[in-house]
Chain A
Amino acid sequence: MATVATSPEHHDAHGDPNASFLDVAKGPMSWIVTLDHKRIGIMYLISVTVAFALGGIFALLVRAELFTAGKTLMDADTYNRMFSLHGVVMVFLFIIPSIPAAMGNIILPIQLGAKDVAFPRLNLMSLYIYIFGACFGLYSMVHGGVDTGWTFYTPYSSSDPACGQLTPCGPPGVGSPSAVIPMTLSAFIMGFSSILTGVNFLATIHKMRAPGITWRRLSLFTWSLYATSVIQILATPVLAITLLLLTMERFAGLGIFDARRGGDPGLFPHCVWFSSHPAVYIMIVPGMGVVSELIGTFSRRDIVGYMFIAMSSLGLALLGFLVWGHHLFVAGMSEYATMVFSALTFLVAIPSGVKIFNWVATLYKGSISLQTPMLWALGFIFLFTIGGLTGLFLGMLAVDVHLHDTYFVVAHFHYVMVGGTVMGFFGGLQDWWPKFTGKMYDEKKGVAGWALVFLGFNVTFLTQFVLGSRGMPRRYYDYLPEFQQLHQISTVGSWILGLGFLILFWNFAESLMKGPRAPRNPWGSAALEWQTPSPPPLFNFVKDPVVNRGPYEYHLATDAELDEGMADLDAELAKANGADPVKKTEPAKSEPAEKAEPAKSKGDEGDDEEKS
């Protein structure tokens, strides 16, 4: 098969076809209508980062309010809206699209050696659906937000005390007075963005792999995105229809979730968790994929149990559909159902444990370099283990009765979602930042940011395990005086955490403005995305790659592939005349020669293999 010759000459890319994707076209229109997966990914990245900052501000306000018992900053009603908006923004606007849609978009096709995702137009459409959905969320926020919690439990969310103006009315005066309908529509719409991304990635992973990338040579990040795509396709539509039914229930009083009208409010949490528990794995599995990459790169060795890690992602995707009942142990299920759900919940520990043990085994006798991305990965392993093990407490029937709806639950899922996914997200961002932007960042600030986030996170949420086990219920505005000290420690922790993220963003901003140029492979990784220039050209590779080893097979990688490329960079810098090393000055003559090198070295390596 003639699967060669990138032939960007055919396409109407402006100027040099091997210029980086950031330089290939200029102006806002070149971003708004772009079909390039890397640009779409960067727009996602900006969107989710803004959402993360917004959700973070809500979180800081919630913690500040809890600094003293009773009223500290805001009244109870505002507090309810703050914690609900924190949850809604973090779950729907940040975590779900964070790693798959933002980072996956940029990295996945490069790791597959493809020019783009399978459906570039659909990809752009997903982004705009996400933004359209986010607009509904913003509309809801300026019209009072929601006070239902991010799960929108019925019957509180489905009853509108102010009904009667637009629609006929149910019993007046009860239910949530907040702007629930625009918020559920927002989540409904953003769900389709997530589904379409899943469809796109699934087809991409199946059909767009470069020659030589067999299923056993896929990166573990790709495997995790594969599992995530399956969940997105199977779970998210169920959430969508559930939210649509809730919207119609509130608008028209369908009666499905309303006990006064022959329905059952208990149906709603079952439908939500049937789809949202798998969605928990949409959130965590890509984080695990990122960590697998980081562990491989910064231990410089083959991942132990590669296939086990890959299959455990699929195992989590499957088990995720069978355990939703553990959210509802105290919601009036039959005892037999709770026992089955409890037993199935314990099974989740197996694929999670498989991953943890294999990562740790990979570290053993690896040549570990403790650079910033690796610190995030180690943080992930440490915190996710705590999050996972405390999940077993909650899966145990008798213990759950005591711990249900307390701060213990809050601490548990923050250890998974923040200690897991957010650690994975920022670890990945620190790792791939040079690839995305072509700029290096300051290592010292990177480490300082990580240290503060790690410290602040533990101060905030370890205390919440104690609070919860002593009986502090979650979501409460007020508390008994004996909880005050722990609440204050937790709030101080949130400030340390916030400070850590500020340093992190300061580091990134500084890197964008005056960071030194990044070499092709600053970490000396054997993975495919590091074999192309930083930032990559429009079609990802100067020459279409043909792959003859797995992404972690360091013993098969050539010295040229693992070369951190500082020499290239020095030569380039010397060539660039003047203060600003603009990329326009460097194309055609110097670049192809240098950048063909990785591909050529692969050819050499292939020859070597043939000889050996």
Chain B
Amino acid sequence: MSTEAASPHDEHEGDHHAHPKWLAHHFETPAQQFDADKLGMWAFLVQELLFFSGLFVAYGVFRSWYPQTFIACSHQLDKIMGGTNTVVLLFSSLTAALAVRSAQVGNKKATGRFLLITIACACAFLVIKYFEYSHKIHSGLLPGYWYAPHDIHGDKPLPPNGHAFFSIYFMMTGVHGIHVAVGIGVLLWIWARNRRGDFSKEYFTPVDLVALYWHLVDLVWIYLFPLLYLI
């Protein structure tokens, strides 16, 4: 402690060298900043998971109450489009991971390219979702009060309480879709920052964190797809 008091100037100098411009003023070392950011992101992802959990509980309860309705209604969903979207999202998770890898090795160009592919996949997902939604709207397969099925697949009418299935379907995919849209925004921002040259081998935390978020969005869909479309 006495050395600290004795030589403030030296430390001042040393401090200056260890303080690159991307290191926020309140952190002492890059490692501390990276660890804090990473922990914060994981905590945020935990809350995201619990946010979706309410919807999964609703799904579980209603499925156990009305299994026949859920099976019949899930046949109204387009498995081809849903399956395509699953592949698109899985692929985008791969490119997000590759973007992190490129950022870690300091390959700015590849990072940008992978981020753009991720963004393109996210947009493709939303476009496909748009076609799915318009088909549902056309057939009156809507949540709550708007539920009025007509022009549906198969000859048999849907069992009662189909509105509950489509309420849950639209809530789950809607909340997930909002997460995809937010993801596009954040990925674009990271892409612009990458273009500006913000990231380097030493500092790639934002790319890492956004990729984590993107994996979660992907992961939620991996559960939504079989629950809503397949079983």
Contacts and interface: CB of A to CB of B under 8 A. Distances in A.
Interface of A: 1-5, 7, 9-11, 114-120, 122, 167-170, 195-196, 198-200, 202-204, 206-208, 233-238, 240-242, 244-245, 248-249, 252-256, 261-264, 267, 271, 539, 543, 546, 600, 602-603, 606-607
Interface stretch (B57-65, B77-85, B111-119): B57-65
Contacts of B50: 233-235, 237-238
Given A234-B47, A248-B171, A271-B54, 12 more contacts: A2-B15, A115-B26, A118-B37, A168-B145, A200-B40, A203-B37, A235-B50, A244-B171, A256-B58, A261-B163, A261-B164, A600-B5
B15 A7 contact: yes
B36 A206 contact: yes
Nearest to A261: B163
A199 B47 CA distance: 9
Interface of B: 1-2, 4-5, 8, 11-12, 14-16, 18-19, 24-26, 28-29, 32, 35-37, 39-40, 43-44, 46-48, 50-55, 57-58, 61-62, 65-66, 143-146, 160-161, 163-164, 167-168, 171, 175
B228 to A, nearest CB: 16
A241 B52 contact: yes
B1 A546 contact: yes
A316 B171 CA distance: 33
Given A207-B35, A603-B2, A199 B44 contact: yes
A263 B144 CA distance: 11
B64 to A, nearest CB: 12
Given A5-B15, A256-B164, A261-B161, A233 B171 contact: no
Contacts of B160: 262
A120 B18 CA distance: 21
A253 B144 contact: yes
Contacts of B40: 118-119, 122, 199-200, 202-203
Contacts of A170: 145
A252 B143 contact: yes
A254 B164 contact: yes
Contacts of B11: 2, 4-5
16 contacts: A5-B11, A5-B12, A7-B15, A7-B19, A115-B25, A234-B47, A236-B47, A241-B51, A245-B55, A248-B143, A249-B144, A252-B144, A253-B163, A255-B144, A261-B164, A600-B5
Contacts of B54: 237-238, 241-242, 245, 271
A603 B146 contact: no
A240 B51 contact: yes
Contact of B164 (A115, A255, A602): A255
Contacts of A539: 25-26
Contacts of B47: 195, 198-199, 233-234, 236-237
Given A255-B164, A271-B57, A234 B143 contact: no
A207 B36 contact: yes
Determine which residue in A206, A208, A255 has the highest number of CB atoms from chain B within 10 A of its CB, and name it. Answer: A255
